[in-house]
Amino acid sequence: WDETHFGKMGSYYINRTFFFDVHPPLGKMLIGLAGYLSGYDGTFPFQKPGDRYEQHNYIGMRGVRLCRLVSRWFAFLCLSIQVLELSKSLPAALLTAFILIFDTGCITLSQYILLDPILMFFLMAAVLSMVKCNSCADRPFSASWWLWLSLTGVSLAGAMGVKFVGLFVVLLVGLNTVYDLWDLLGNLSLSLVMFGKHLLARVLCLIVLPLALYTAIFAVHFAVLNRSGPGDGFFSSAFQSQLIGNNLHNVSVPE
């Protein structure tokens, strides 16, 4: 059923037809983009699960499963590094890696047009970036430190932009940041000015940057979907007047 739902959402983006859905738009935009780049024309109706695709080129939208392959690699790095750092045990890290490699749940999810592989990609990218940034703690404000801190913020925006459960990784990164800042505040050899620079860097990369990107995702969403569709009725008359094909299109609507 979910493949039918999200496949239809991808078709809406290809046809630039406005719709309303409970999830943020990034994952569905990526599904639509994958379908468009692979030659899918957005004409399959996606009416009910089990309908045959026939001549329609749907493989591109399922091709977003490449995100799953990359996220497995991220997860392999994250879990192996974290277990090795926490336990100082190479066998424990190897066991964790093998458990992940043979996880068939991720493989099953990747066979269909779903948001979960895309969400996993951004979740694992955020955790990996956080871990790599922590490993650069002995050289703050270096190029690599800024790179991983910024990539953490970008990944947080991506996770929130796919599904709202991405807020859990925001919580994880937030708790890690609070612990890090608390540790820095207790460092008597660190001046308050330098602590202020650390705080400002995290505010910019982990709060301002993700919020800006998250807002930009919705800006692209509304710019692409400029034609009337099944989601019109949820919005005001003034908004509907901007949609091509709507009865109120270009009609003067009082505030």
* Rounded (5°) CA angle 172-212-149: 45
Note whether residue 85 is domain-resident. yes
Average pLDDT, the chain: 82
Note whether residue 251 is domain-resident. no
CA 243 to chain centre: 27
Note whether residue 245 is domain-resident. no
Q: Rounded to whole angstroms, how far apart are CA atoms 12 and 214?
A: 21
Note whether residue 252 is domain-resident. no
Structural domain boundaries enclosing 137: 2-236
What six digits make up the tokens of 198? Answer: 């650390």
Give the chain's end-to-end CA distance (angstroms, integer): 40
Note whether residue 232 is domain-resident. yes
Integer-rounded Cα Rg, in Å, for the chain is 22
As a whole number, mean pLDDT of residues 138-149 equals 94
Q: Where is pLDDT greater, at 127 or 161?
A: 161
Predicted pLDDT at 13: 83
Residue 51 reports pLDDT greater than 90: no
Q: Rounded to whole angstroms, how far apart are CA atoms 132 and 81?
A: 9
pLDDT band at 196 (very low <50, low <70, confident <90, very high): very high
Number of domains in the chain: 1
Q: Where is pLDDT greater, at 6 or 225?
A: 225
pTM over 0.75: yes
Q: Where is pLDDT greater, at 154 or 121?
A: 154
Q: Where is pLDDT greater, at 122 or 49?
A: 122
* Three-state SS at 157: helix
Q: Where is pLDDT greater, at 249 or 166?
A: 166
pLDDT band at 158 (very low <50, low <70, confident <90, very high): very high
Confirm if 163 and 27 have CB atoms less than 8 A apart: yes
Note whether residue 179 is domain-resident. yes
Residue 254 reports pLDDT greater than 60: yes
Kindly state the greatest CA–CA separation across the chain.
70
pLDDT band at 92 (very low <50, low <70, confident <90, very high): confident
H or E stretch at 33: helix 26-37
Note whether residue 255 is domain-resident. no
Predicted pLDDT at 180: 94
Note whether residue 31 is domain-resident. yes
Confirm if 113 and 62 have CB atoms less than 8 A apart: yes
**DSSP assignment, residue 45?**
-
Q: Where is pLDDT greater, at 40 or 21?
A: 21
Confirm if 111 and 62 have CB atoms less than 8 A apart: yes
As a whole number, mean pLDDT of residues 28-55 equals 76
Residue 188 reports pLDDT greater than 90: no
Predicted pLDDT at 42: 67
As a whole number, mean pLDDT of residues 228-255 equals 80
